[in-house]
Amino acid sequence: PAVTGLKQLAPFPMGAAVNVSLLKNRSAYEQTVATEYNSLTGENAMKFASLHPSQTTYTWSDADYIVTYAQQHNARVHGHTLIWYKSLPSWVTSFQGDSAAWENLMKTHIQTVVAHFKGKVASWDVVNEAFEDNGTLRNSVWRQHLGADFIARAFQYAHEADPAALLFYNDYGHEWGPTKRTAILNLVNGLKNRGIPIHGIGLQMHTNINRADTNLATAISTAGQTGLKVHIAELDIALNPDKTAGLTFTPALAAAQKAKYKAIVQAFKALPAAQRFGITTWNVGDADTWIRGFCSCSDWPLPFDDNYQRKPAYDGIVEALQ
């Protein structure tokens, strides 16, 4: 039988990161979101620079648009992201103040944002990408001014503002191997053991067709061993990781991508049901992917093509769900 949408098929939420201007202005994009997904993440709308462009100004309109849209379409909203080293407004990167002033800055941002969306956004990426690729703690402005334990305090501040919200630590590279993964898992296990309010772990999974299925499955199963909820939070599967000029989207590449999507969804399905927070792809169609701009190359990393037609990758997700 024909598939209505991924959200009807999956026993856990299926999500996409959404771009507000595409949601407003491109009807095929909006239709695909409405048909397929019941969990939405703002690709950029809830980042620090988007919500809090000057110290005394908050701009809620794009983020509120996503919330209202989600309410109208019976979708949840996952908040992304409160504390990150990127997408900071210049007033933060140039902020002059002692550690108490920085603490107040972080606390005020977290609590103002979480309070604004209380009862509307039920989960947050509280801290994003605190680690370098080699597993050492990133020397972000937060760490420089607040020390390594800014992470724990960020979770506490978010929890104070909305005790019902599910709080996530989100990062990439779990599937690369043990070095960065172990650093991340040690962090979240340490927070959990100290009684810090952390409820989930986000695996971004910006991956590619060369990554072995075993690495992907290990990333997912070891995240599950924390006992926390697991969110595959930013999934895309690049076909052109070597940035080959002139590459075209061949049936062979489509088939390899289909198999990779299927393997990831199968590994996720193997988690205990209570830990399956959901799977979110990072945007909707290939035309919308951040990867094309980032690599200045051709790529087709998503389950929908440039015209929002379902690709073999989509069928791979369906096969894993059925």
Residues marked active site are found at 129, 234
Tell me which stretch binds ligand G3I (CB under 6 A): 40-48, 112-120, 207-215, 264-272.
Answer: 40-48
Tell me which stretch binds ligand G3I (CB under 6 A): 41-49, 141-149, 211-219, 251-259.
Answer: 41-49
Tell me which stretch binds ligand G3I (CB under 6 A): 43-51, 217-225, 250-258, 297-305.
Answer: 43-51
Task: Figure out which of the listed residues 16, 29, 40, 43 binds ligand G3I, where binding follows CB under 6 A.
Answer: 43
Task: Figure out which of the listed residues 175, 234, 286, 288 binds ligand G3I, where binding follows CB under 6 A.
Answer: 234
Please check whether residue 228 is in contact with residue 200, taking contact to mean a CB–CB distance below 8 angstroms. Answer: yes
Smallest gap from Cβ 169 to ligand G3I, in A, equals 13
Which residues ranging from 98 to 137 are in contact with ligand G3I (CB under 6 A)?
128
Task: Figure out which of the listed residues 38, 204, 208, 257 binds ligand G3I, where binding follows CB under 6 A.
Answer: 204
Closer residue to ligand G3I in complex, CB, 44/221:
44
Task: Figure out which of the listed residues 86, 136, 227, 244 binds ligand G3I, where binding follows CB under 6 A.
Answer: 86
- Which residues, at least 6 apart from 157, have a Cβ–Cβ distance to it below 8 Å? 106, 107, 110, 111, 114
Closer residue to ligand G3I in complex, CB, 58/85:
85
Site size for ligand G3I, by CB under 6 A? 9
What gap in Å lies between CA 97 and CA 227, rounded to an integer? 38
AA identity, residue 317: I
What's the CA angle centered on 111, arms 108 and 114, to 5 degrees?
145
Distances in Å between the Cα of 274 and the Cα atoms of 94, 102, 200, 268, 318 are: 43, 37, 11, 12, 21
Site string for ligand G3I, 158-197 (x = CB under 6 A): ----------------------------------------
Which residue number has the CB closest to ligand G3I? 290
Q: Judging by beta carbons within 10 Å of its beta carbon (0-12, 13-18, 19+), is residue 120 exposed, middle or buried?
A: middle
Report the first-to-last Cα separation within the chain, whole angstroms.
Answer: 11
Which residues ranging from 47 to 76 are in contact with ligand G3I (CB under 6 A)?
47
Q: Does residue 24 touch ligand G3I according to CB under 6 A?
A: no
Chain centre distance of CA 209: 19
Smallest gap from Cβ 207 to ligand G3I, in A, equals 12
Q: Judging by beta carbons within 10 Å of its beta carbon (0-12, 13-18, 19+), is residue 302 exposed, middle or buried?
A: buried
Closer residue to ligand G3I in complex, CB, 299/320:
299
What gap in Å lies between CA 54 and CA 73, rounded to an integer? 32
Closer residue to ligand G3I in complex, CB, 78/311:
78
Phi, psi values for residue 299, rounded to 5°: -160, 160
What gap in Å lies between CA 287 and CA 307, rounded to an integer? 8
What gap in Å lies between CA 188 and CA 107, rounded to an integer? 20
Report the candidate in 315, 280, 287, 321 with the shortest Cα–Cα distance to residue 301: 287
Which residues ranging from 277 to 296 are in contact with ligand G3I (CB under 6 A)?
290
Smallest gap from Cβ 82 to ligand G3I, in A, equals 12
Please check whether residue 48 is in contact with residue 91, taking contact to mean a CB–CB distance below 8 angstroms. Answer: no
Closer residue to ligand G3I in complex, CB, 208/266:
208
* Cα maximum dimension of the chain: 62
Smallest gap from Cβ 301 to ligand G3I, in A, equals 11
**Footprint on this chain of ligand G3I (rule: CB under 6 A):** 43-44, 47, 86-87, 128, 204, 234, 290
